[in-house]
A and B are shown apart, each in its own frame.
Chain A
Amino acid sequence: DGGITQSPKYLFRKEGQNVTLSCEQNLNHDAMYWYRQDPGQGLRLIYYSQIVNDFQKGDIAEGYSVSREKKESFPLTVTSAQKNPTAFYLCATLGRGDTQYFGPGTRLTVL
């Protein structure tokens, strides 16, 4: 999972503002995922992509959007429609043997 980078580490958003979280990987993995983690809770799937130019909604996709134009990159946009976006966001890739590897995360705070 050292081959997965997320930026920025901390992000502050004003009300009504869209922000984009970056996720890059050099592991040559096809599938990538975005999870949201709230305090005291598990990881909830936002979006996932199994291949370039294709992605599917997860369990909590409302208020989020993604793109997968390159194999290495899977950015997540948190739109103004997401009413409670303050959370820890984790990107992951799927390696061999069904193992998911996580990036270091981005902590988003709404001001």
Chain B
Amino acid sequence: GENVEQHPSTLSVQEGDSAVIKCTYSDSASNYFPWYKQELGKRPQLIIDIRSNVGEKKDQRIAVTLNKTAKHFSLHITETQPEDSAVYFCAASISPRTDKLIFGTGTRLQVFP
């Protein structure tokens, strides 16, 4: 079955710097890759997703890149702000209407003012 590895487990950056979180997946059939942000004690919220037919997607300060050959995808946050501090999870699944998402173990991002 699918396995998703996520690195680093913790990441500390200065406000204004960029942050990069990387994930690798094992099943080459996976074609849908969402990223979730979870603040302390709250529910995970989708922040961006990408499908295997594109290599990059941007939404303001957030971008995701996908390398299908190497089976890895990354989240890039530019101009980080203290409110970006949270745990970020990557996931992978086989679309359409897949049974389940396989999640990475999460990255705790701390942005210091």
- Residue-wise interface mask of B (94-113) relative to A, using a CB-CB cutoff of 8 A (1 in contact, 0 not): 01111111011110000000
What's the dominant secondary structure at chain B's contact region? loop
A99 touches B89 (CB 8 A): no
Q: Please, could you name 20 A-B residue pairs with CB atoms under 8 Å apart, sorted by A? A: A1-B43, A31-B97, A41-B105, A42-B103, A42-B106, A43-B44, A43-B89, A43-B103, A56-B99, A97-B49, A98-B32, A98-B93, A98-B96, A98-B97, A99-B34, A99-B49, A100-B101, A103-B43, A104-B42, A105-B42
Q: What's the Cα separation between A41 and B44 when bound, in Å?
A: 13
List chain B residues, Cβ under 8 A from A58. Answer: 100
Q: Chain B: residues with CB nearer than 8 A to chain A? A: 6, 9, 32, 34, 42-46, 49, 89, 93, 95-101, 103-106
A41 touches B100 (CB 8 A): no
Residue A102 lies at the interface, judged by CB distance under 8 Å to chain B: yes
Q: What's the Cα separation between A31 and B100 when bound, in Å?
A: 10
Residue A48 lies at the interface, judged by CB distance under 8 Å to chain B: yes
Among A41, A44, A58, A98, max chain B CB count under 10 A is at A98
Q: What's the Cα separation between A98 and B91 when bound, in Å?
A: 12
Q: State the interface size on chain A (CB cutoff 8 A).
A: 24
Which residue in chain B gives the minimum CB-CB distance to A58? Answer: B100
Q: What's the Cα separation between A31 and B99 when bound, in Å?
A: 9
Q: Chain A: residues with CB nearer than 8 A to chain B? A: 1, 31, 33, 40-45, 48, 50, 56, 58, 90, 94, 97-105
Q: What's the Cα separation between A101 and B49 when bound, in Å?
A: 13
List chain B residues, Cβ under 8 A from A90. Answer: 43-44
Given A98-B93, A99-B34, A45 and B100 contact (CB-CB distance below 8 Å): yes
Given A40-B106, A41-B106, A99 and B46 contact (CB-CB distance below 8 Å): yes
In the complex, how many angstroms separate the beta carbon of B110 from the nearest chain A beta carbon?
Answer: 14
